[in-house]
Structure 1
Amino acid sequence: MKLSIGNRILSFLILLASLLPFWVLYAISDLMFLVLYYLIGYRKKVVYSNLDIAFPEKTIAEKKKIAKKFYVFLTDMLVETIKMRSISAKEVKKRIVLTNEDEVQRHFNQGSPVIGTTAHYGNWELGIHRLSLMTENPVLIIYKPLNNKGFEKIYNTIRSRFHAKMIPMRQTIRQILTHKNEPHISMFLSDQTPVRSEADCFIPFMGQPTLVFLGMEKIARSTGFPVVYCHIDRIKRGYYSCTFSTLFEKPQLTEKLEITLTYHKILEQHINAKPELWLWSHRRWKHKPAS
């Protein structure tokens, strides 16, 4: 599709902003934090509602501290995502250190594709660039399409700069089967919130019944491709580590929901450790199971 004049202007402005050095972008981030948190109150009700649900044992002061740290990280991530438009491969590798990429490579060496799974935790967007630069094998990024198709095209152009292939969720199976005979990784953001009509499975997560997609699990069990978890942690401002761990070598042998439950249990541990790095502005518990 062709971009509208407005979207072309937006794309150009993103490019210009991405050329700014990190120290300038972080100064902008500091200002954005003040605006979003104190002036606009961007999704504050959603954030505090989620924190109340996830951490009923914490005091108001503790939850306020988490919320403020989350907004600081959120604005940092926004400028880091803009920087993705022009950042060099060398800088990406400097900003995200891989701790054990051999955990993915060993599956590739055996000729096996990989089902990758991660979350809205740490800078998962910059993680797309790092994953793309880690291997010459195809990297499929499974994403939920946006309503604004023009912005989606701009966003996906940024995400695919280092040859990641952006795959809309509805095309997942077809694209994975297209590459089934060659080593590749299909990366799922497995903590997406489904539309109620698209899912009916609730599992315990952060102490709450939580509606989940089962697509990643179903594809892993049907293909037998090993499931590898990708954990992106923040070391300090602008710097991250990426750690891979194989959850299931032979997912076809797992019980129903075993993969999904294991993934969410690990994610919950990471959230409890550094709650500010998860996307609290997302309405994760808007759906409730039928009585």
Structure 2
Amino acid sequence: MNFIIYIIVYPIIWLISKMPFPLFYFMSDVFYFLLYRVVGYRKKTVRENIRLTMPELSEAELKKVEKESFRHLCDIFLEMVKTFTISEAELKKRFTFTNLDTVLEVEKQGKSVMLFCAHYANWEWIIILDKFIKFQGYAVYKKINNPYFDALIKRIRSRFDTVLVEMKETIRVIRQNEINQNHGVYAFISDQSPMVSQANCWQNFMGIEVPVYTGGEALCKKFDMVPMYLNVEYVKRGHYKTTFVPLLKEGEQLKDIPNYEITQRFLVEVEKQIRKAPAYYFWTHKRWKHRGNKPVNIK
């Protein structure tokens, strides 16, 4: 059955990826109409998340963010598909870096980079980074149950030389690389909600106390990496601007930073982006399904 689903869907994915951009985004608008207006996919979850984290918004403002976020959700989904066939030159034009020298300087120091990422704007297109750096880029991902689609996703995301590492293999891969002095840039999506039974840390995120993943910080400290936040900014449809934000202040040593402080700094950076332009966050995730204290106002 997995293979049958794959051979049915594969040609559709390929055809969509080959569409010229005007037609491509027209298709996204069609998907938006179906997803938001007809199906109502996770509309309740999105509305509850926005209302919970930004209670200062009026109903009209909330509805506006909700609709824009669904439009962007459809764009992101199709842009993931577009990665299947997009050229290197086209992707470089659409996903730019403002301070690439920040990563290049770390290369000179002979250290690896732990890149904390969030579900904001288009995090998927960071795979083009490998065309600008000497280090090897690694993306940590969760394996898909359908083995055929899992292989397809790995092939798409590795088109520009990024190496995908399954979550359970992360420590082994990093350890072996560091032993061999093969430094790299490791991208972790770090804003999901872990299972409460597995959470060892709760942090304030968007005014709500929630369980957080701390694996990225733990690995960063264990292997003495340089922690950075991947700030991806929406410029216009299909175009993004990226800035690498160091999570260590000048003169700070990683070994002197209290546990979970790096994770908190990451969350602060994500929150700043969300509050500035909330429509480009992935609100469909049930990020606040586990909550500690009641919402608090952030000035």
- TM-score, normalising length: structure 2: 0.92
C-alpha contact 2:208 2:293 (8 A) present in aligned 1: no
Amino acid at match of 2:270: L
Q: Is it true that 1:281 corresponds to 2:284 in the alignment?
A: yes
Report the equivalent of 2:62.
63
**Secondary structure class of the residue paired with 1:179:** helix
Residue in structure 1 matched with residue 149 of structure 2 by the alignment: 151
Match of 1:165 in 2: 163
Q: Decide whether the 8 Å contact of 1:7 with 1:151 is kept in 2.
A: yes
Residue in structure 2 matched with residue 266 of structure 1 by the alignment: 269
Instruction: Tell me the amino acid that sits aligned with residue 171 of structure 1.
Output: E
Cα separation, partners in 2 of 1:75 and 1:290, compared to 1, 3 Å? closer
User: In the TM superposition, what whole-angstrom CA distance separates every residue of 1:149-184 from its partner, at most 9, and x where no partner exists?
Assistant: 432222222111112111122111111112111231
- The aligned runs of 1:175-194 (5 Å cut-off) are 175-180=173-178, 181-194=181-194
Distance 1:265 1:147 in 2: 33
User: How big is each residue's C-alpha offset from its partner over 1:250-273, in whole Å with a ceiling of 9 and x where there is no partner?
Assistant: 322210111011110111000000
Q: 2:139 touches 2:187 (CA, 8 Å); kept in 1?
A: yes
Q: What corresponds to 2:253 in structure 1?
A: 250
What code does the residue aligned with 1:212 have?
V
**Cα displacement (A) at 1:74:** 0.9
Where do 5+ consecutive residues of structure 1 fail to align?
none
Q: What amino acid maps onto 1:135 in structure 2?
A: I
Regions of 4+ moved over 6 Å? none
Q: Secondary structure at the match of 2:186?
A: strand
Whole-Å Cα distance in 2 between the matches of residues 113 and 73 of structure 1?
32
Query: Structure 2: 5+ residue runs without aligned partners?
Result: 295-299
Matched, 1:14 2:13: yes
Identical counterparts, % of pairs: 35
In structure 2, distance between residues paired with 1:286 and 1:81: 26
Give the secondary-structure state (helix, strand or coil) at the position aligned to 2:247. strand
Q: Which residue of structure 1 aligns with residue 297 of structure 2?
A: none
Partners of 1:12 and 1:32 in 2: how far apart? 18
Distance in 2 separating the partners of 1:154 and 1:193: 26
| SS of equivalent to 1:280 | coil
- Give the structure 2 partner of residue 229 of structure 1: 229
Q: Aligned partners of 2:142, 2:291: CA distance in 1, in Å?
A: 21
What pairs up with 1:54-133 in 2 under 5 angstroms? 54-128=53-127, 130-133=128-131
SS of residue in 2 equivalent to 1:4: helix
Secondary structure of the equivalent of 2:234? strand
1-side partners of 2:68 and 2:24: how far apart?
18
Aligned-partner Cα distance in 2 for 1:193–1:157: 27
The separation in 2 between residues aligned to 1:233 and 1:111, in whole angstroms, is 28
Provide the rounded CA distance (Å) in 2 between the counterparts of 1:111 and 1:12.
Answer: 43
TM-fit CA distance, 1:72: 1.1
SS at match of 1:213: coil
Aligned counterparts of 1:265 and 1:290: Cα–Cα separation in 2: 18
Amino acid at match of 2:287: R
Deviation per CA, 1:93-129: give whole Å up to 9, x if none: 000111111100100111111111110001011222x
- Does residue 1:213 correspond to 2:216, yes or no? no
User: What is the rounded CA distance, in whole Å, between the counterparts of 2:200 and 2:145 in structure 1?
Assistant: 23
> How far apart in 1 are the matches of 2:87 and 2:220?
33
Q: How many residues align?
A: 288
The 8 Å contact of residues 199 and 212 in structure 1, kept in 2 or not, is answered as yes
**Alignment check: 8 A CA contact 1:199 1:211 kept:** yes
C-alpha distance in 2 between matches for 1:214 and 1:35: 37
More divergent stretch after superposition (214-223 vs 85-94): 214-223
Q: What do residues 202-222 of structure 1 show as CA deviations (whole Å, max 9, x unaligned)?
A: 111101011111101111111
- Distance (whole Å) between structure 1 residues aligned to residue 11 and residue 134 of structure 2: 29
TM-score, normalising length from structure 1?
A: 0.94
Give the superposed CA RMSD.
Answer: 1.7
Structure 1 residues 250 and 182 mapped into 2: Cα distance closer, same or farther (>3 Å)? farther
